[in-house]
């Protein structure tokens, strides 16, 4: 059977240091996958390699059976892969609505000529774009503040806006880098609800997250990294009982103490 | 015979190169420590030349007295400029200091044009004798440039490595934030660094100005050369700037001697753009001042 | 509705002005203002829309001037054709500069653009057989269709303001479009823009071409209007002049650039300040603007005026005139 996304043996070395060591995993359409591991396990590297921010040293990445290894981010976005950033990353000086509009580059099919001449195709595309933006704003529940500037909005709103920007690309696969970091329990719960809604909408999701409650409650499947290697994979129930995972998490503080001493 | 010409060109190049090394050394210190690009750097060189000219012609001062006056005046002016325009912009978008110093260079250039006109001025120093070494000719002023240049660069090296302030400057260059944590008064270091960088430019100005007709546009020309030098030497590296400065002087002299003097500037810029494209960190070093 | 009305008024005023004020000197100042405004708008495409800070735009302004001057003077090419050639060649020069420059970031970018302009200046200075070098190149006065001999200023006036109005109209239309939104996204956050599929490099590259071409067109009108051009046109002074107009006006708003050009040409002309004194005043003004009004003079003013329902005061009318 074919998967939506597959990573084959991806390895990434930084000046001799192996950050990712032959990691393979796959994604099926409509699932929510959690990518977890102790600090420095290679989660962020993995994330950046997939989105094209970093080029892997070796290995191959496929989306819908097409090779996307080492493609720059704007092209992976074109292939249907979107991401959110660890910190609240939005277009600060634009309004909420403009933020989403700016992110709809891939949806807008009219070129420069049509824009400047304001042809009928431009007009019709403008109308369909408006509908898409409205839909996204409803999805992330920010319609009521659509004309406020992003700068100065509450933190929880900005996180949702970050997701809305990623949705602007109409992605098949959405990667989220610590989406629940800094959210209070109510906001976390809201986020989980939003993620499920996106999944029901047909978007496959990968989440890198520290908050175990969010991960365990939300993910269909979890991949665990430690020291750049994949040490476990399975449903939340399986992962929770996996001895290697327990050890890597419990041993973490021990290891860190040792590194600090050295 | 041909060898003598080569030697003569290299000697000329060395003189100009020492000037570049002084100007670029100051620019590298300012960039390395303050992390700002001083687009007005060459203008301080130029103004030092003009103060020297007026000191000698209007006040009737002897060369060394006028030179000392020029250096002190330019450093005082530079200090004022730093406090008024650069310090308020230090923690803002880097583009602001870039634009501000660019505007500053225009301000200084056009002020000199208004005061002194855009024509050339010549400065006569007491060192107008000629020393002949075999077939190679060296004017006394050029000898002075080399001797004084080496002394000042030596003093700079000693200062950076052996005085407390010099050590603090190097620490700030290494890591601005850590320097603050260590209790270094970074603001004071910035003021000092800017003054020091300007002083080096002024020293170069009073040494080099008597060698050529002094025109207001020489400032911009030196700014551009100094940029080329610090890019070649690795941004912010003072030793890199000195080596690259002397090297650029030599290459220019050879280009002028064997190709055409009109194109010597172009060769420097083309080399620079090539280096920027292929080795963005410069020819030497990682771009950290030491 | 008000927009359309104001625009209509501006067009009528712009068309009618030379008939009401027939003073030759006034017309000259207005043409210079228009040319500077085109140059500033060209620069604002990079500064304001994309956050790309070119320090070498004199290369395109001066380059356009030289192409036009050489074609008209040496080869006897018609003015219209020279304008087109100057625009196209300046645009190509823009693309050529963009290749090395866009690989650089921050200050390296600034230095590279500055040096590219210096290389162009050096070339122009050192091939006197083509450019007359530092002697300067004289350019013949063109004839405009329908404009009687001796009234060339009128021809220049309408040409300049037609170009300015058209470029502002297209840019403003573009700025409000979804495509324009994505451009501004690049200025706001390049990495984020790339992550949603915006081809950042390609857009900057072509924008450099467009900006260079427009700046070249401004230069191409400038050359025969002034009558003699020298390599000074390619010096950092002119690059700075462009930035000065954009920054003083406040970037990212086309009006800001035009306002800056207005301040630079008309206001100083009123005081009859000599060219050198003008540069001193303006560089000081620029420094003050950077320190005290980092968003420029006009932008905060517009923000302030938009909030309450007050209507445009005199200051804005001045700019509206050229918006068309």
Span C110-134, mean pLDDT?
A: 84
**Bridge partners for A226 per DSSP:** A229
Judged on CB neighbours under 10 Å (0-12, 13-18, 19+), C232 is: middle
Residue of B nearest to C56 (CA): B102
Chain B CB contacts of C235 below 8 Å: 220
Residue B121 DSSP code: B
The DSSP code sequence of C24-77 is HHHHHHHHHHHHHHHHHHHHHIIIIII----S-THHHHHHHHHHHHHHHHHH--
Question: What's the confidence (pLDDT) of residue C17?
Answer: 78
Q: What are φ and ψ of residue B225, in 5° steps?
A: -60, -45
User: From CA A249, how far away is CA A257, in angstroms rounded?
Assistant: 14
Contact check, Cβ <8 Å, B262/C125: yes
pLDDT of residue B283: 54
Topology (CATH level 3) of domain A1-80+172-262: Rossmann fold (3.40.50)
pLDDT, mean of residues C149-165: 85
Q: How many CA atoms lie within 13 A of C181 on its CB side?
A: 24
Q: Compute the mean pLDDT over every residue in chain A, rounded to the nearest whole number.
A: 82
Strands A5-14 and A32-36 come out as unpaired
Contact B263 C286 (CB under 8 A): no
Closest CB to C174: pick one of A83, A108, A116: A116
Query: C168: which 2 tokens?
Result: 């502002």
Q: Which residue has the higher pLDDT, C293 or C184?
A: C184
Q: Nearest Cβ partner of C283 from B37, B93, B106?
A: B106
The vertex-C114 CA angle with C110 and C115, nearest 5°, equals: 120
What is the strand order of the sheet A81-83 is part of?
A81-83, A173-177, A204-208, A32-36, A221-226, A229-234
Quote the CA–CA distance of C217 and C91 in Å, as a whole number. Answer: 9
Higher pLDDT among residues C86 and A110, named by residue: C86
Q: What integer is the mean pLDDT of C131-146?
A: 80
Instruction: State the pLDDT at residue C319.
Output: 36
Partners of residue A108 in chain C, C-beta under 8 Å: 178-179, 182
Closest to C122 in 3D by CA, of B99, A17, B267: B267
Average pLDDT of the residues in C157-178: 87
What is the residue whose two structure tokens read 């040096």? C115
Contact predicate B282/C111, CB 8 Å: no
- At the top level of CATH, the class of C2-323 is mainly alpha
Residue A28 pLDDT class (50, 70, 90 cuts): confident
β-sheet bridge partners, residue A14: A17
Residues 6 or more apart from B83 whose CB is under 8 A from it? B191
A partners (3+ CB pairs within 8 A) are C
Angle at C261 between CA C166 and CA C179, to 5 degrees: 45
Q: What proportion of chain B, given as a percentage, has pLDDT over 90?
A: 24
Q: Average the pLDDT over C120-134 and give the result.
A: 83
CB contact under 8 A, A93 and C188: yes
B265 touches chain C (CB under 8 A): yes
The residues, ordered by sequence, that sit 6+ positions from C195 with a Cβ below 8 Å of its Cβ are: A51, A73, A74, A77, A82, A83, A85, A166
- H or E stretch at C100: helix C79-101
In the prediction, which pLDDT does A88 show?
A: 67
Q: Exposure string (b/e) for A68-106, b if CB count within 10 Å is 16 or more?
A: bbebbbbebbbbbbbbbbeebbbbeebbbbbbbbbbbbb
- What residues contact B130, with CB distance under 8 A and at least 6 apart? B137, B138, B139, B140
Of B95, B227, B273, the CB nearest to C53: B95
Number of Cβ atoms within 10 Å of the Cβ of C137: 24
- Give the C-alpha separation, B108 to B26, whole Å: 18
pLDDT given for residue A257 in this prediction: 42
Domain B2-117+130-278: which CATH number of 1.10.530, 1.20.120, 1.10.3470, 3.30.420: 1.10.3470
Residue C142 DSSP code? P
- Rounded distance, CA C84 to CA C117, Å? 21
Residue range B139-178, pLDDT digits in tens: 888 888 888 989 999 898 888 888 888 888 888 888 888 8
Label residue B274 by pLDDT band (50, 70, 90): confident
DSSP string covering A145-175, please?
A: GTTSBSTT--HHHHHHHHHHHHHTT--SEEE
Mean pLDDT of C32-51: 90
Burial of B270 (0-12, 13-18, 19+ CB in 10 A): middle
Q: In what order do the strands lie in the sheet with A5-14?
A: A17-27, A5-14, A58-63, A66-67
* Mean pLDDT calculated for residue range A65-90: 84
Q: What is the pLDDT of residue C213?
A: 95
pLDDT tens per residue across span A130-184: 888 888 888 888 888 888 888 888 888 888 888 888 888 888 889 988 888 888 8
Least confident of A186-200, B150-164, C64-78, C147-161: C147-161
User: What are the phi and psi torsion angles at A56 (to 5°)?
Assistant: -70, 150
What's the mean pLDDT in A229-237?
81
Q: Which residues contact B282 (CB under 8 A, 6 or more apart)?
A: B230, B231, B232, B233, B234, B235, B237, B240, B244, B275
In chain A, what percentage of residues exceed pLDDT 70? 94
Query: Which among C45, C176, C177, C196 is the top mutation candidate for probing chain A, defined by the most A β-carbons within 10 Å of its own β-carbon?
Result: C196
Please report residues of B whose CB lies closer than 8 A to that of C53. Answer: 95, 98
Residue range B78-87: average pLDDT? 91
* Mean pLDDT within C52-78: 91
Residue B288's pLDDT band, with cuts at 50, 70 and 90, is very low
Whether residue A106 has pLDDT greater than 90: no
- C164, two tokens: 């300015």
CB count within 10 Å of CB B131 equals 11
Per-residue pLDDT reduced to its tens digit, C243-261: 888 887 777 778 888 888 8
- Name the residue ranges covered by the structural domains of chain B: 2-117+130-278
pLDDT reading at A255 higher than 80:
no
Binning chain C into helix, strand and coil, the percentages to the nearest 5 are: 80, 0, 20
Residue located via tokens 């004798």: B129
Q: Where are the alpha helices (DSSP H) in B163-278?
A: 164-174, 176-181, 186-208, 218-232, 238-258, 264-278
Residue C299: the pLDDT is: 63
pLDDT band of C316, cuts 50, 70, 90: very low
| Integer Cα distance of C43 and C54 in angstroms | 8
Closest C-alpha among C263, C289, C223, C192 to residue A162: C192
Confidence category of residue B204, pLDDT binned at 50, 70, 90: very high
Kindly calculate the radius of gyration of chain B based on its CA atoms and give it in whole angstroms. 19
**Residue B203 pLDDT greater than 90, yes or no:** yes
Q: Which of A92-101, A113-122, A193-202, B175-184 has the lowest mean pLDDT?
A: A113-122
| Distance (Å, whole) CA B201 – CA B56 | 19
Looking at residue A261, its pLDDT comes to 43
Report domain extents, chain C.
2-323
Report how far apart, in Å, the C-alpha atoms of C220 and of each of A71, A249, C71, C80, C302 are.
42, 69, 10, 10, 32
Residue A254 has pLDDT above 50, yes or no: no
Taking only the tens place, the pLDDT of each residue in B89-144 is 888 777 788 888 988 998 999 899 988 888 888 888 788 778 887 777 888 888 88
The answer to whether residues C217 and C85 touch, using CB atoms and an 8 Å cutoff, is: no
Residues A161, A99 contacting (CB under 8 angstroms): yes
Cβ-Cβ contacts under 8 Å for A237 (sequence gap 6 or more): none
Q: Which residue has the higher pLDDT, C130 or B46?
A: B46
Contact check, Cβ <8 Å, C283/B228: no
| Rounded CA separation C260/C243 (Å) | 9
Q: Is the pLDDT of residue B266 over 80?
A: no
- Is the pLDDT at C323 greater than 70? The verdict is no
pLDDT attached to residue A95: 85
What percent of chain A has pLDDT above 90? 0
For residues B60-71, average pLDDT: 91
Confidence tier at C272 by pLDDT (50, 70, 90): low
Physical contact, A and B (3 or more Cβ pairs within 8 A): no
**Beta carbons of C51 and C259 less than 8 angstroms apart:** no
- How high is the pLDDT of residue A251? 59
Supply the mean pLDDT for chain B. 85
pLDDT class for C313, splitting at 50, 70, 90?
A: very low
- Kindly state the average pLDDT of the residues A222-251: 79
Reported as a single tens digit per residue, the pLDDT across B225-261 is 888 888 888 777 888 888 888 888 888 888 887 777 7
Three-class SS of A53-108: CCCCCEEEEEECCEECCCCCHHHHHHCCEEECCCCCCCCCCCEHHHHHHHHHHHCC
* Chain A interface test: which of C49, C168, C171, C178 (most A C-beta within 10 Å): C178
Highest mean pLDDT among A135-149, C78-92, C282-296: C78-92
Give the pLDDT confidence score for residue C216 in this predicted structure: 95
CB burial of residue C46 (10 Å; 0-12, 13-18, 19+):
buried
In 3D, which of C300, C275, C257, C292 has the Cα closest to residue C37?
C257
């Amino acid at each position: 059977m074919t998967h939506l996304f597959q990573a084959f043996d991806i390895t990434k070395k930084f000046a001799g240091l192996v950050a990712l060591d032959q990691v393979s995993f796959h994604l099926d359409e409509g699932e929510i996958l959690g990518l977890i591991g102790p600090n420095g396990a290679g989660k962020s590297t993995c994330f950046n390699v997939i989105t094209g921010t970093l080029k892997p040293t070796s290995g191959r990445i496929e989306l819908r059976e097409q090779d996307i290894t080492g493609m720059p981010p704007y092209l992976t976005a074109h292939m249907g892969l979107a991401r959110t950033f660890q910190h609240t990353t939005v277009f600060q000086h634009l309004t909420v609505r403009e933020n989403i509009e700016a992110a709809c580059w891939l949806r807008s099919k009219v070129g420069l000529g049509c824009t400047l001449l304001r042809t009928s195709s431009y007009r019709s595309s403008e109308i369909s774009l408006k509908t898409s933006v409205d839909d996204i704003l409803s999805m992330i529940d920010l319609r009521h503040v659509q004309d406020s500037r992003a700068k100065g909005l509450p933190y929880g709103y900005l996180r949702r806006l970050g997701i809305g920007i990623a949705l602007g690309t109409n992605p098949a696969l959405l990667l989220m880098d610590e989406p629940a970091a800094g959210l209070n329990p109510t906001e976390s719960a809201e986020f989980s609800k939003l993620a499920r809604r996106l999944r029901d909408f047909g978007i496959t999701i990968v989440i890198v997250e520290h908050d175990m409650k969010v991960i365990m409650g939300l993910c269909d499947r979890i991949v665990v990294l430690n020291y750049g290697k994949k040490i476990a994979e399975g449903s939340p129930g399986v992962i929770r009982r996996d001895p290697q995972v327990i050890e890597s998490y419990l041993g973490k503080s021990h290891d860190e103490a040792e590194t600090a001493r050295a | 015979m041909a060898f003598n010409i080569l030697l003569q060109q290299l000697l000329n190049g060395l003189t100009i190169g020492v000037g570049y090394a002084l100007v670029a050394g100051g620019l590298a210190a300012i960039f390395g420590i303050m992390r700002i690009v001083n687009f007005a750097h060459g203008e301080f060189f130029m103004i030092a030349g003009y103060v020297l000219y007026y000191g000698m012609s209007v006040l009737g001062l002897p060369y060394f007295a006028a030179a000392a006056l020029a250096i002190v005046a330019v450093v005082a002016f530079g200090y004022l400029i730093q406090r008024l325009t650069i310090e308020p912009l230090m923690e803002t978008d880097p583009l602001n200091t870039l634009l501000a110093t660019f505007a500053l260079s225009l301000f200084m250039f056009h002020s000199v044009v208004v005061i002194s006109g855009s024509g050339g001025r010549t400065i006569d120093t007491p060192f107008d004798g000629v020393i002949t070494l075999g077939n190679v000719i060296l004017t006394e002023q050029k000898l002075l440039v080399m001797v004084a240049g080496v002394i000042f660069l030596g003093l700079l090296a000693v200062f950076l490595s052996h005085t407390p302030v010099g050590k603090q400057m190097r620490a700030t260059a290494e890591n601005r934030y850590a320097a603050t944590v260590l209790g270094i008064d970074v603001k004071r270091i910035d003021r000092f660094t800017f003054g020091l960088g300007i002083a080096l430019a002024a020293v170069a100005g009073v040494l080099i100005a008597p060698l050529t007709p002094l025109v207001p546009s020489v400032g911009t020309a030196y700014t551009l050369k100094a940029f080329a030098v610090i890019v070649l030497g690795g941004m912010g590296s003072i030793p890199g700037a000195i080596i690259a400065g002397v090297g650029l002087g030599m290459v220019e002299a050879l280009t002028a001697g064997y190709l055409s003097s009109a194109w010597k500037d172009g060769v420097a810029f083309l080399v620079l753009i090539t280096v920027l494209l292929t080795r963005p960190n410069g020819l030497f070093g990682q771009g950290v001042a030491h | 509705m008000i927009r359309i009305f104001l625009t209509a008024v501006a067009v009528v005023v712009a068309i009618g002005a030379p008939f009401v004020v027939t003073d030759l000197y006034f017309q000259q100042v207005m043409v210079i203002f228009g040319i500077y405004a085109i140059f500033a708008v060209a620069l604002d495409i990079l500064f304001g829309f994309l956050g790309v800070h070119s320090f070498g735009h004199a290369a395109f302004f001066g380059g356009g001037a030289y192409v036009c001057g050489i074609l008209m003077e040496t080869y006897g090419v018609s003015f219209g054709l020279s304008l087109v050639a100057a625009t196209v060649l300046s645009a190509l020069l823009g693309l050529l500069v963009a290749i090395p420059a866009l690989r650089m970031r921050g200050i390296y970018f600034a230095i590279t653009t500055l040096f590219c302009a210096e290389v162009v200046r050096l070339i122009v200075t050192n091939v006197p057989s083509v450019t007359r070098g530092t002697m300067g190149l004289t350019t013949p006065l063109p004839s405009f269709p329908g404009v009687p001999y001796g009234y060339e200023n009128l021809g220049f006036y309408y040409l300049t303001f037609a170009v300015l109005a058209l470029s502002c109209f297209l840019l403003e239309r573009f700025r409000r479009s979804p495509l324009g939104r994505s451009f501004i996204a690049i200025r706001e956050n390049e990495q984020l823009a790339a992550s949603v599929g915006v081809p950042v490099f390609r857009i900057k590259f072509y924008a450099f071409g467009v900006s260079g071409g427009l700046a070249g067109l401004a230069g191409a009108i400038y050359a025969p209007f002034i009558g003699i051009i020298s390599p000074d046109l390619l010096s950092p002074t002119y690059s700075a002049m462009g930035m000065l107009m954009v920054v003083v006006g406040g970037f990212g708003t086309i009006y800001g650039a035009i306002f800056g050009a207005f301040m630079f040409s008309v206001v100083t002309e009123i005081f009859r300040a000599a060219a050198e004194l003008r540069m001193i005043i303006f560089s000081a003004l620029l420094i003050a603007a950077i320190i005290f009004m980092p968003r420029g003079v006009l932008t905060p003013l517009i923000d302030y005026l938009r909030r309450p329902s007050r209507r445009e005061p005199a200051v804005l009318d001045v700019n509206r005139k050229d918006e068309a």
